[in-house]
Structure 1
Amino acid sequence: MEHSVKHRSKSVIKASLLTGLSLLSITVLSEPSSNSLASNHAVLQHTVATSVTASKTKINEQEPHHQHCQMATQSEASLTDLLQPFADKMQHSTGVYVLEKGSEAMLSRAWLTTQAETSIDIQYFIFSTDNIGLIASDYLVQAAERGVKVRLLVDDIMIDAEDDELLKIDSHPNIEVRIYNPLANVGKNLAEKLYHLATDFHDFNQRMHNKAFIVDSNMVITGGRNVADEYFGYDQQYNFRDRDVFLLGGISQQVQSSFDQYWQHELSVPVAKLLKKGNGFADLNFTQLHQYACEPNNFLPIIRERIGQVPKVFSKVNEQGKLHWLKGVQYIADAPGKNDADNFLAGSGKSTQTLIDLINSAKSSVLIQTPYLITTDKGKQLLRKTVERGVEVKILTNSLASTDNLEAFSGYKRDRKQLLATGVQIFEFKPDAQIRQKVMALDLKDGSHQSPIFGLHAKTMVIDDNITVIGTFNMDPRSANLNTESVTILPSKQISAAVRQEILTEMASENAWQTKQDFNPDSEAGILKRLRLTWRRVIPKSIL
């Protein structure tokens, strides 16, 4: 089975842009990558254009409906009032709830956006202009129109928005957009991209992979999910099994401080400094964006209703003891820039060393979920020594059939047998894993004749059944040495027991294949995908 064009382009960008093997991929960064994405680009373009045609957007322009959908998710009580019962706990500990399902991760973000009182700070590697991205943008604009200050920090390399779209969002007086390390995409023509690729190869490859959604400086969602359909179970062709964690009070201030550090760093450049407004740039008008989000075909009414029910669900979670109040929660984030060119494509980082220390501290077991599993000699040595100490190490990663990134899989495939020789147990995710019925959204639009491929994207580790790590870190050289990453460390036996059970369930035969020296499931992938994997062997593992 093959992915949609949208997802193939993402995996190609990650490696072919970075190696210079395919110049075409450089131009893809500012091009719509599928028919559906192209139509969504058109919606944001409508907020820029001074004249549009209703047939192109297919949206309902009735103002009463627009007003109704705006009011549907407003809460009677303020966020401050709702949090008042937890005020003392928030000062001395951190409320923690693991967001396993894509739907609850989406609903939580949406509801918090509607209730934010002072600020929303957003830090992402990918913020797409697909259906989820457009609706998220609409919610952010509505928050800004209430007076909430919105800051959006996005890495440069995967942005698929057009220049006018970025400028339009940034033009709102309460919204500011900055681009991290803009060497590859925003405001760059093809010649400039090639120049930076040739002369600043290390810096060109250094990306911001952190992910944080921060409301009023005391509520945070962080983890593996970017902002795009596939991270929340709403893509028709390919979806991710992912994991986030909601943090209330406590450590949230440290996440805010990390965001501020990135925001103020010289690598984070205001989009207004990168792009110039064209002669046809329209006055501030988000009507078309609001109307898109109000159209039931784009945003199902049942989902809007569920957003309004989040406070009741939260109360139930609290009553059931699933909101854990913990001391000792840690948020570890790499410094902006991470490594300079003195350590070419190497150099480690704070997040890397933290994970190494945790693995070295393990006494009985290490469970790992990682979508991309590319080990260096140092990494294999670490795992071998861990196994030799009597620690059981199990790793769940993507199979060839489930992966969205052939470049990364090629790096894994090259030394899969060497990795198995260290004594670790490896399980490869099935593209039709039965667990998807539990964690995916069940509200996909009508007309889908086959179930989407299901790939792994969660980056999680459980140590000795009492420490859980949820973050952005993949087990690959790119996360270790180039990309800035962040991880949240949760010292809780209860959380660890629940997350451990989730991972073990996903390693079961209905969800994964166990790979051994004499067996791997590569043949389960389609012939075309296997053929496309072949040439990726030339890409150096150090940039995967």
Structure 2
Amino acid sequence: MQFLADIWPYLAGTAEFAAMVGAAIHAMLTKSDVRSAAGWVGFILLVPVLGWLIYLLFGVNRIQRRARELRGVRRGRALPAPGPSQHEPLPVEPEEQRKELESFARFGQKVLPEHFEAGNDVDVLTNGDEAYPAMVAAIDRATRSVALSTYIFNNDKAGRLFLDALTRAVERGVRVRVLIDGVGSWYSRPSLIPLLRERGINYARFLHSFMPWQMPYLNMRNHQKILVVDGEHGFTGGMNISIGNLLGENPKKPILDHHFRVKGPVVGQLMRTFAHEWEFTTGEILGGPDWFPHIAHAGELVARALPAGPDLGFNPIRWTLLGALTEARQSIRIMTPYFLPDTTLATNLSLAAMHGVEVDIVLPSKNNLPFVDWAATPSLGWLIEAGCRIWKTESHFEHTKLMTVDGMWSTVGSANWDGRSLRLNFELNLDCYGRSFAHKLDRIIDGKIAGARPVTLESIAGRPFPVKLRDAAIRLASPYL
């Protein structure tokens, strides 16, 4: 015993030294940003005991590792392989081709080897008043299959519209699969889940558990919005299923949004994304002509689906946004409810504006998550100084997510301009090439800007000191908001 009493300080010191060295080595090998790596190494070495312990608790990125374990080991399957990779130029009409966009298309296939599909068309649906009836009508016409994925499926008038349509489809013998995020399924009280069960609708909840240690409540959420009927009629965008989107019902908290009806071969990619998430969640493999029929061309838009999540080393949506900012020569137009771009995205936006590209960013004045707006405000001044124009809509909360570049390339979908969408959640965007569709989106953005107020350096500088302090403090947590 005396021997142990004599040597325990040396054992403790050795263990502390080993922990410090191990944590420092881990930071050097895993942190891609040199400033982050240097900062953590300095903190570990200069703060005895607490340094390496705090690093283990807060500095190790367990989200990507956990996502890869869940996606790769648990089911043993990755995203289904796309069709043969196409390395030829983007298949658009010669008069619409641009060298920069051809380069961007090749870059895009390196980001994600999902091939581009020609022959598509996308209709814009405004608010739930247009989107929900179109989606319910498509479900009512289903003869073979219905695949629905949503983050929020509320137990309200909007939710029951879909519940009744899905019930009718089941009664007709249609194969129905409904995937709801494990957190999103609890947004309404009481939940709609018991009603889905009572109606005999085949549903599943993504990464759901009643045990907190088994369910990451804030991270790795399935934020995708997909509806595919009979494998060939598609809908996607950022709209959840909630009474707030039905402005005709005068909801207490109105939500302005746009959803998109997709026609053409790219619908098959929406279906493949749903099938992947369904198999991961339930183990059931969806295949055959009921889910994957031949889809005829329906228009001239070239498009592909961009699924993304924390299980991927490089987030395809984030890298596609970066590529678009790099290739822009005339205009960049962004509309998003949550705008917390990381340093690289913000720098590229600033560089584009400084090179003479017209950069317009449209944000809501009324945000359903005020702390996100607080965190975003300090960074807006730097973008404005670089030449970006920032607008705040004055109407109801605007949930629309759009982006266009040079009136030719555009993206729509579920992803926001924040770390949660571009690093922590599973998202789905459409990557589109075509002037007609880009012009549709530009007209929407023009209409929003016409009724918006510009954000100025004076308005940002004129905030009271307590507000500035609040915003600066909340901004520190922006990667996780």
Q: Where on the TM-score scale, by shorter chain, does this alignment land: which range?
A: 0.5 to 0.7
Partner of 1:326: 300
Higher RCO (Cα < 8 Å, 6 or more apart): 1
Q: Which amino acid aligns with 2:424?
A: L
* Rounded Cα–Cα distance in structure 2 between residues aligned with 1:119 and 1:156: 23
* Rounded Cα–Cα distance in structure 2 between residues aligned with 1:357 and 1:495: 20
* Rounded Cα–Cα distance in structure 2 between residues aligned with 1:496 and 1:536: 38
Could you say what secondary structure the match of 2:457 adopts? coil
Q: CA deviation at 1:239?
A: 1.7
TM-score (norm 2): 0.67
Could you say what secondary structure the match of 1:474 adopts? coil
Q: Confirm or deny that 1:170 pairs with 2:143.
A: no
Do the aligned residues in 1 keep the contact of 2:257 with 2:399 (CA within 8 Å)? yes
TM-score (norm 1): 0.59
Could you say what secondary structure the match of 2:386 adopts? coil
* Rounded Cα–Cα distance in structure 1 between residues aligned with 2:405 and 2:331: 6
> How big is each residue's C-alpha offset from its partner over 1:423-464, in whole Å with a ceiling of 9 and x where there is no partner?
211001113xxxxxxxxxxxxxxxxxxxxxx11111001110
Do the aligned residues in 1 keep the contact of 2:378 with 2:472 (CA within 8 Å)? no
Q: Which amino acid aligns with 1:326?
A: E
Q: Confirm or deny that 1:350 pairs with 2:365.
A: no
> How big is each residue's C-alpha offset from its partner over 1:121-179, in whole Å with a ceiling of 9 and x where there is no partner?
01111111111112211111111111111111111112236788524423555x21111
Partner of 1:218: 232
Q: Confirm or deny that 1:374 pairs with 2:374.
A: no
Partner of 1:398: 364
Q: CA deviation at 1:114?
A: 1.0
Partner of 2:94: none
* Rounded Cα–Cα distance in structure 2 between residues aligned with 1:373 and 1:215: 33
User: 4+ runs of 1 displaced by more than 4 Å?
Assistant: 161-165, 520-523, 533-536
* Rounded Cα–Cα distance in structure 2 between residues aligned with 1:329 and 1:164: 36
Partner of 1:238: 253
Q: How does 1:118-197 map to 2 (within 5 A)?
A: 118-160=144-186, 165-170=192-197, 172-173=199-200, 175-182=201-208, 187-188=209-210, 192-193=211-212, 195=213
Q: Which amino acid aligns with 1:118?
A: R
Q: How does 1:408-447 map to 2 (within 5 A)?
A: 408-431=372-395
* Rounded Cα–Cα distance in structure 2 between residues aligned with 1:463 and 1:383: 12
Do the aligned residues in 1 keep the contact of 2:182 with 2:205 (CA within 8 Å)? yes
Could you say what secondary structure the match of 1:325 adopts? coil
Q: CA deviation at 1:332?
A: 1.0
Do the aligned residues in 2 keep the contact of 1:95 with 1:250 (CA within 8 Å)? no
* Rounded Cα–Cα distance in structure 2 between residues aligned with 1:459 and 1:534: 24
RMSD between superposed Cα atoms in Å: 3.1
Q: Which ranges of structure 2 fall in alignment gaps of 5 or more residues?
A: 1-116, 285-296
How many pairs are equivalent?
351
Could you say what secondary structure the match of 2:299 adopts? strand
Largest Rg, 1 or 2:
2
* Rounded Cα–Cα distance in structure 1 between residues aligned with 2:352 and 2:471: 32
Partner of 2:438: 496
* Rounded Cα–Cα distance in structure 1 between residues aligned with 2:406 and 2:262: 23
* Rounded Cα–Cα distance in structure 1 between residues aligned with 2:347 and 2:480: 20
Could you say what secondary structure the match of 2:196 adopts? helix
Could you say what secondary structure the match of 1:488 adopts? strand
Partner of 1:516: 456
* Rounded Cα–Cα distance in structure 2 between residues aligned with 1:269 and 1:512: 47
* Rounded Cα–Cα distance in structure 2 between residues aligned with 1:225 and 1:331: 17
Do the aligned residues in 2 keep the contact of 1:243 with 1:470 (CA within 8 Å)? no
Q: Which ranges of structure 1 fall in alignment gaps of 5 or more residues?
A: 1-90, 271-322, 340-346, 432-453
> Percent of aligned pairs with the same residue?
21
Residues 362 and 333 of structure 1: is their aligned pair in 2 closer, same or farther, counting only changes over 3 Å?
same
Q: CA deviation at 1:534?
A: 6.9
Residues 164 and 210 of structure 1: is their aligned pair in 2 closer, same or farther, counting only changes over 3 Å?
closer
Partner of 2:274: 259
Could you say what secondary structure the match of 1:129 adopts? coil
Q: CA deviation at 1:360?
A: 1.4
Do the aligned residues in 1 keep the contact of 2:239 with 2:259 (CA within 8 Å)? yes
Q: CA deviation at 1:338?
A: 3.2
Could you say what secondary structure the match of 1:95 adopts? strand
Could you say what secondary structure the match of 1:260 adopts? helix
Residues 105 and 476 of structure 1: is their aligned pair in 2 closer, same or farther, counting only changes over 3 Å?
same
Deviates more, 1:97-106 or 1:365-374: 97-106
Do the aligned residues in 2 keep the contact of 1:153 with 1:263 (CA within 8 Å)? yes
Specify which of 400, 423, 426 is matched with residue 481 of structure 1: 423
